[in-house]
Amino acid sequence: MRSLFFVIATLLSAAVLALPAVVNGYPLVFYDTADYIEMSFTFEPIVYRTMPYAALVMPAHLHISLWLVVALQCLIAAWVIGVAIRAFVPRASPWMAPLVVALLSLLTALPWYTAQLMPDFLGGLLIVTLATLVFARAALALLERIGFTVVAVIAAACHSSYMLLAVGLAVCAVIGWLIIRKRLRPGLSFAALPLGVALAGIVCIGSVHYLASGRLYVSQTGDVFLLARFIQDDLVGKYLDKVCPSPDYTLCQYRDKLPKSANDFLWAYDSLLEKMGGWEKAEDEARRIVRGSLAAFPLDHVRAAANDVAQQIAMFRSGDGTWSQTAATVVIVWRYFPNELNAYLNSLQQNDRFDFDRINQIHIPAAIVGAFGLLVFGALAWRRRDFAGAGLAITVTLGLLGNVAICSVLSNPGDRYASRMMWLGLLGAMVLFARLRSLRQFAL
């Protein structure tokens, strides 16, 4: 009977997580959505995208509906959250998960990402699954352990920033294991499991790209993204002053026309990147400028990176990109899902009907309270020698900070990068609060 209740609770949680799409009248989309849909049908890589997420879009081909993708994403998220709560909170009611999910849906951007056709929702699930596998593994059934491992690998493989986050968390796990192994004697899985997830994610990315293109690679455009961030931080002009004029650098011709933002360099109409020959042709020059600039002005780069991280910490507003995307995706919906075109065009998003100024009056304070609560309850767990609870708090904190560092330094600061993960703080705080109450009652 308890298993049946858990299934019902998971379905309820999934339904709550799908509400933004239901209210919208169609799955939410972003600029990048069109590329992922296109790749799912053509199986041809787009040079600046990580391809595996396109596999999650493929179920939509079965019944020619993108609603299947939203259903799958919401079910995965609901199941992971429900199992994690049950693992960390002894004797938790099956109905605790829908309550927690309802609060997260009201107070955070989580449902706006589970209801959107993007890999963004997977970043938080990567952290939750790893924390549970490392610190509450004994509470998981065998199939749950396997499922959590699969979800973690998929999350690590579906976005390059999540792959790097998985690597960073694996390094932290190895360091942590070396520090505490004599005192607490954790099993080898404490370090081996996160390391295995990171390696599997890298292998998955490389394998999918090899199958699609015949070339084994993880990313072909990392230096172009770095060059864009260096341009935004006004670091490229200084290097060009040193090496120009030179026939080896196309950018010498545009020294006085460098854009002010990374996004203008990458995505603007008739962008400077296009003048360099596009993504693939520009990669070699980008690599030489990036490495040369780092070698010539290392302290400037350290200061710029620190400033970007500081900016990103303060940027976590919900709704970035959740406005009309008609120009970006209408052709793709018309081409592959023509029966859904009217629903797409008539949706609230495509008519700019969402007021995120009001929504953020709730989300921003909730994110701050969640982060503060995570630290407080994590410290209480540590004082009570509840190392599983403290481990959850540490993992979530490291994940949030790692995401900030990776996205701001390797790309550029943006609200979306943080907002897609900020629900973790509130989830961690609620789980730790419930865990502390449960352990206290159990001890009595």
Distance CA 117, CA 119 (A): 7
What is the DSSP secondary structure assignment for residue 246, as one 8-state letter? -
282-314 pLDDT per residue, tens: 999 999 999 999 999 999 999 999 999 999 999
What residues have CB less than 8 Å from 91, skipping those under 6 apart? 438, 442
Q: Which residue has the higher pLDDT, 182 or 136?
A: 136
Distance CA 364, CA 108 (A): 8
> Which candidate, 284, 257, 362, places its Cα nearest to that of 318?
362
pLDDT tier at 328, thresholds 50, 70, 90: confident
70-96 pLDDT per residue, tens: 999 999 999 999 999 999 998 888 899
Q: Output Rg (C-alpha) for the chain, integer angstroms.
A: 22
% of the chain at pLDDT higher than 70: 98
Task: Find the range with the poorest average confidence among 29-33, 54-58, 137-141, 265-269.
Answer: 265-269
* Confidence at residue 1, expressed as pLDDT on a 0 to 100 scale: 63
* Confidence at residue 187, expressed as pLDDT on a 0 to 100 scale: 86
> Which candidate, 116, 105, 19, 140, places its Cα nearest to that of 66?
116
What is the average per-residue pLDDT within 180-197?
A: 90
Residue boundaries of the structural domains of the chain:
2-218+317-443, 222-313
Task: Find the range with the poorest average confidence among 105-109, 122-126, 161-165, 209-213.
Answer: 209-213
* Confidence at residue 175, expressed as pLDDT on a 0 to 100 scale: 95
Distance CA 168, CA 422 (A): 18
What residues have CB less than 8 Å from 184, skipping those under 6 apart? 387
